[in-house]
Structure 1
């Protein structure tokens, strides 16, 4: 799976992964993060998530990284915002009040370009990446964020019954990626109603990752 896979999905509007409501797990568990008013939250591989709309409405500042420029053009249009667009290294930077989105390969995003953030909300990034990419991703995310606290949501299911994405991420794998860097707390394990894509039993694991 490479960048062209996601570009094709957005170009063809095959975006079943895009949720039509704010994620209820964000609403329920954001308080597990230590956030002051106006905190800056980073959403990796954010798409045009409605979670961004909600976070902005709550007075948070939002940063994101997304491969598809189509997704980000739609995001700003749906927010009724006209972005300032600039080039930052290999990335395109879309910005408006309290919002910064970096378009391109997340591995081209540096900590300097991203700037200071107070937390990471990873609902759809780690689970979207194939196994061979996830270790590199988790290390990169920790590095560019200066080990910012995280709210991490993962699917877990029998991977032999269903192809990803989203991929299955076990508790053991979360510890492999983040256990040496963060204190890990599993907040909840919730069954997915009807199973994953209606094909196999699955649950979502909600983690909070806190800097030692």
Structure 2
């Protein structure tokens, strides 16, 4: 999947994947991550998720990586308004940086981000990144995320459905694949598998008959 696809989605505001509230999975399972106040949380392919606002409100430092500058402009405006933070925006080559107290947002290609740009990462929260990528890209994503986070524990959200019924994104990433993809780096423990098709009519309209939300906690091996 090419970067142009996501740039076009944001330019046309075709962002049905965006939630206008904090993800209930984050609220339910974040305590299990045992992240102390001040822990640094990496949110890959973050969009303009309100989850970052919530994490900042809990006292965490947050690093978000997102391809679209439009998305991060909107997120920065939300954070500034909600938390009264002054956010500095700067550009370096193909990357745009948004910096404030306990906040770093990077607009640019995820695979071009280097570990030294992020510093220490304590926890990863992947609620929409792995499932945004087609299968040929997921190996490289998992490997690069492991390098960026120095194998920090992860809270991961994926979806199980019949990929023949809908091409994605979001893509189906079954529990077996999660275990296979992360096996070299993590022990993957499935916390919950819940049917959410009744609350996701947009997927039913696309022909999906069952849409399961899977929640994993990944702990380093």
Partner of 1:128: 132
| Coordinate RMSD, CA, aligned | 1.3
How far off its partner does 1:111 sit? 0.7
Residue 159 of structure 1 aligns to a residue whose secondary structure is: coil
Work out the number of aligned pairs and report it: 212
1:194 equivalenced with 2:198 (yes/no): yes
Partner of 1:18: 18
Deviations 1:134-165 (A, max 9, x none): 11000000011100000000011000001100
Partner of 1:61: 61
TM-score (norm 2): 0.92
Task: List structure 1 segments (4+ residues) > 6 angstroms apart after TM superposition.
Answer: none
Q: 1:6 to 1:39 in 2, by over 3 A?
A: same
Partner of 2:120: 116
Partner of 2:169: 165
How far off its partner does 1:193 sit? 3.7
Structure 2 portions without partners, runs of 5+:
none
How far off its partner does 1:90 sit? 4.0
Residue 160 of structure 1 aligns to a residue whose secondary structure is: coil
* Separation in structure 2 between the aligned mates of residue 118 and residue 164 of structure 1, nearest angstrom: 31
Structure 1 portions without partners, runs of 5+:
none
1:34 equivalenced with 2:61 (yes/no): no
Partner of 1:84: 88
* Separation in structure 2 between the aligned mates of residue 20 and residue 203 of structure 1, nearest angstrom: 21
* Separation in structure 2 between the aligned mates of residue 77 and residue 115 of structure 1, nearest angstrom: 24
Deviations 1:55-90 (A, max 9, x none): 111111110100000000011111224422234564
